[in-house]
Structure 1
Amino acid sequence: MQTLQTTSLRVEGNQFWILDQQALPQQKNWLPADSVEALVGHIHALRVRGAPLIGLSASLLLALLAERGESREALAAALETLRAARPTAVNLMNNLDRMRSALAQPDHATALVTEALRLVEEDRALCERIAHAGAALVTPGSRLLTHCNTGGLATAGRGTALGVIAHAFEAGKVANVWVDETRPLLQGGRLTAWELGEWGVPYQLITDSMAASLMAQGEVDAVWVGADRIAANGDVANKIGTYSLAVLAHYHGIPFYVAAPQTTLDPACPNGAAIPIEQRAATEITGVAGSFGAVQWAPENARVYNPAFDVTPAALIGGWVLDSGVVTPAQVRDGAFATA
Structure 2
Amino acid sequence: MAFTAPETPRRELYPEIEPFASGWMETGDGNRIYYEECGNPQGRPVVVLHGGPGGAVNPGMRRYFDPSRWRVILFDQRGCGQSTPNAADTDLSDNTTWTLIEDIERLRERCGVDKWAVFGGSWGSTLSLAYAITHPERVSALLLRGIFLLRKSEVRWFYQEGASQLYPDAWERYLAPIPEAERNDLMGAYYRRLTGPDRAERERCAVAWSSWEGETVSVEGPSARPEKFADPAFALAFARIECWYFTNDGFFPSENWILENVGRIRHIPGWIAQGRFDVVTPMTSAWDLHRAWPEAKLDVIPDAGHASSEPGIIDSLVRATDWAAAL
Structure with higher Rg: it is: 1
TM-score (structure 2 length as normaliser): 0.29
TM-score, normalised to structure 1, is 0.28
Task: Give the structure, 1 or 2, with the largest relative contact order (CA under 8 Å, sep 6 or more).
Answer: 2
